[in-house]
Chains A and B, each alone.
Chain A
Amino acid sequence: MSRETFDRELQALQDRVISLGSQVSAMLMDSVLFLKTRDMKGSREIIKTDHKVNEMRYAIEEEVLALIALRQPAAIDLRTLAAILEIAGELERIGDYAKGIGKINLLIGEETLIKPIIDLPIMAQKVQSMLDRVLEAFIDRDIEAARAIPKDDDEIDDFYKQVYTELAALIMAKPSRLEQANYLLWAAHNLERSGDRVINLCERIIFTVTGKLEEID
């Protein structure tokens, strides 16, 4: 096998991972904006897009397995493929969280919102920024960036706690708000979890470069 052929195949595979990441990043942001603007049509689109995201992930997995079987990669090539398998899985999960937020919008339906949606778009923006940077770090195999990105997750966690406290107060004041508050809390939870997934991506980038699996707290 010529190295050039394999390099082209790896590059093409990496492009697909980046394209999956960009898709998911946009989806997550949109899902929150549709919730904010109560755009049901948009949310239904998100749910549909999630199928596409799943298919992209399966296609990446198949390609990874094919390259392992056909090219017998070793060392950094093998680690790259193992990392891509994980990264594609994590990205797909973020897609699921976006779909979840889309469903929440549909579940809340015509009801008036118990609070204006302010914090969730900020959280989504922060996750999106982390996600976009992690994809760049993957392209550049930049472990310094991969080690720095997880710090931003603390802010997302703080926002989640704030949303939680606020919703709890709204429920206490008027228990009939429970159902919708629960939905909104789930949306915040999905964003918080998305941030955690981005940290997993950072760990995989470090593994690709160094061969060491290290947990970032």
Chain B
Amino acid sequence: MNNTKLETKNYSMNYGSFRALEDINMQIPEKQVTALIGPSGCGKSTFLRTFNRMNDLIPGVWIEGEVTMEGKDIFEIDVVNLRQQVGMVFQKPNPFPKSIFDNVAYGPRANGLTDRNALAELVEHSLRGAALWDEVKDDLDKSGLALSGGQQQRLCIARALAVEPSVILMDEPASALDPIATLRIEELIRELRENYTIVIVTHNMQQAARVSDFTGFFYTGESRTGKLIEFDLTRNIFTNPADKRTEDYITGRFG
């Protein structure tokens, strides 16, 4: 079993008087892929956004419990620092309206890296890491927006890798892509797992089954408060889940 990278203890999150997540206890192992699944509105994306403190931006949000990265309270880490360590990839590819090179160099430059050679090296390394280098190496000056959807998403992954994070959060990273581009992203996730801790939210259960090592199933009852119903090895969740609600969800009986 790998070390725990991210952990929540009795973590609850509220928007004003509305409780969005309640009492979540989860240990996310290092350099593994953890998938968060559950029906719409179950709180899985909200939970994902906890780890780079994106929820902080929403007015009226207050939390209870603990969220730690390598044992350190993430709310005590400088948020810029935290987001450098915890990258994020969104559902819709969102390259900047800049060249491919500048997209990837954006983060390192913002962090103060100016040396041209060092930047070029980092851009290549990141594009290789995102399995995009071979396709774009001769077109680095081309706009990021000129790439296909799947390539744009890999560009966003390269952009995330360029600031050398240790965690990558992915919120439905392939749901806007065609099946071939989706498979490439899934392959990439498996490769990235060698060096990064990955947490992915997906609506596609087969995708969760294909790419992840661990799966957490979130569900909300009548209260609309999201709870973690079950967290286990993905192979257990998909062959013999412990909770009836997990089984009903993954076999399509609801959700």
Contacts and interface: CB of A to CB of B under 8 A. Distances in A.
Partners in one complex: yes
A1 to B, nearest CB: 7
Interface residues of A, number: 13
Contacts of B238: 74-75, 78
A72 interface: yes
Interface size class of B (residues with CB under 8 A): 10 to 19
B2 interface: no
A77 B252 CA distance: 10
A75 B206 contact: no
A75 B238 CA distance: 5
Contacts of A75: 238-241, 246-247, 250-251
Contacts of B246: 75
A99 interface: no
A46 to B, nearest CB: 39
Given A72-B206, A74-B205, A1 B239 contact: no
B209 interface: yes
Interface in B210-255: 238-241, 246-247, 250-253
Nearest to A4: B252
A1 B251 CA distance: 11
A6 B241 contact: no
A69 to B, nearest CB: 12
Given A2-B252, A77-B251, 14 more contacts: A3-B251, A3-B252, A74-B205, A74-B209, A74-B239, A74-B250, A75-B238, A75-B240, A75-B250, A75-B251, A76-B247, A78-B239, A79-B239, A211-B240
Interface of B: 205-206, 209, 238-241, 246-247, 250-253
